[in-house]
Amino acid sequence: MKDGLRAVFSFARLGALLIKEFIQMRRDRITFAMMLGVPLIQLVLFGYAINNDPKSLPAALVATSSDPYTRAMVSALQTTGYYRFDRVARSAAEAEFLMSRGDVAFVVTIPADFGRRVERGDNPQILIEADATDPAVASGAISTLSTVAGQALLRAQGTQETAKEAARGHLDVVVHRRYNPEGISQYNIVPGLLGVILQMTMVMMTSIALTRETERGTMENLLAMPSSPLEIMLGKVLPYLVVGAVQVLVVLAAAKLLFAIPFMGSLSLLLSAVLVFVLALVLLGYTISTIARTQMQALQLTFFFFLPSIMLSGFMFPYRGMPGWAQILGEIFPLTHFLRITRAVMLKSAELPAVATEVGWLVVFVALFAGVALVRFRRTLD
């Protein structure tokens, strides 16, 4: 009876298997790092970096007068915590350019005769233009406008007006929600999905390319060919550019036909940015494939990159709602810059000067990933 039970289950054999698995886990350092790193990243990002009610949003002021009432308006808006006036635009055209670039979330225009109209009780007006491409960013700041601005004007006048006088001199706050006046969330999400889908597929597929050759034992045949590391890399990378082109066409067609996303800008400019972005992604995937030893490790490294990228790029949560350190981290991901390009071109009709900085960063990523991939591949050959 005991011999039969021992044949079915043995603590000694189980202990040996457990020791073997722990030894194997210790050898697979990438997997072990993923087991510890991914939960820590999730805790830090969700606990500290995510904020759905962004404050201290950059704003531009267009005002030709510096009377006490104008200063009171600016001070009151800053006191709410939502507005940070770090730009002074000399004209409406300059303010429009700043908003199309994404440098500011609001443009506050105070007319030159604002002070005179206040003193005459002639219904003074201020204009606040909000970048509503992401409705969640603008909603909180806009909801406090009328009450705060009206109270600030009364304090600046220094009088206790009667209801009749207050109505006669009532401040009129005109709000224009630019680029997405209806606050449709799809206008913000669907253009961003173009970058997310490309990143998910391009990095994942190319990261498996070289590791698959190693696991199948065909790497020796590849290295025996009279090909340089650059030629091998291009041979692995270029086919996925075609796959990326097909995905772009599918997503853009779906955005127009299914969700009626407006396309206000230049298609050639967007496709040029897509080409640079996809090239950066496939080179990143190729770099990962030179680090990983197995396809499973390649997938794990891809996920390790994908998680913070999607959370810090401004796709899932408002970018300006994150603390400063999280915004700095977000700048190191190509997706962050590509999302700004797609939303600016598709929704704001932005031209090349408005997105030149973001395109330049994508070119930097291409050069960086290409250099690292070539260096890593040469070391793999050695």
Q: Which domains does the chain have, with CATH numbers?
A: 57-178 (3.40.1710.10), 186-381 (no CATH)
Phi-psi region of 349 (alpha: psi -120 to 50; beta: other; left: phi over 0): left
Residue 190, φ and ψ in degrees, nearest 5 = -65, -45
Average pLDDT score over the chain: 80
Higher pLDDT, 279 or 231: 279
- Closest by alpha carbon to 297, among 174, 181, 208? 208
The whole-number pLDDT of residue 236 equals 73
Report how far residue 365's alpha carbon sits from residue 84's, in angstroms, rounded to the nearest whole number.
31
CA gap 324, 305 in Å, rounded: 20
- Among 47-56, 94-103, 107-116, the least confident range: 47-56
Q: Please, is 193 exposed, middle or buried when counting C-beta atoms within 10 Å of its C-beta (0-12, 13-18, 19+)?
A: middle
User: How far is the C-alpha of 32 from the C-alpha of 66, rounded, in Å?
Assistant: 61
pLDDT in the model for residue 280: 93
pLDDT reading at 165 higher than 50: no
The CB-side HSE value for 355 (13 A sphere, CA atoms) comes to: 27
Q: Say what the pLDDT of residue 156 is.
A: 65
3-state SS, residue 54: coil
Q: How many helices (H) and strands (E) does the chain have?
A: 17, 5
What pLDDT was estimated at residue 48? 66
Q: Say which amino acid occupies 378.
A: R
Q: Is the pLDDT of residue 60 over 60?
A: yes
Residue type, 330: G
pLDDT band at 8 (very low <50, low <70, confident <90, very high): low
Tokens 């820590």, located at residue: 40
pLDDT at residue 166 greater than cutoff 50: no
285 neighbors 202 (Cβ within 8 angstroms): yes
Confidence of residue 195 (pLDDT cuts 50, 70, 90): very high
Can you tell me the distance from the alpha carbon of 192 to that of 338, in angstroms, rounded to the nearest whole number?
8
- Condensed to tens digits (0 to 9), the pLDDT of residues 10-37 reads 777 777 777 777 676 666 666 666 666 6
- Distance of alpha carbon 285 from alpha carbon 205, whole angstroms: 7
Residue 190, judged by CB atoms within 10 A of its CB (0-12, 13-18, 19+), counts as: buried
Assign 160 a pLDDT band (cuts: 50, 70, 90). Answer: very low
Distance of alpha carbon 45 from its chain centroid, rounded? 14
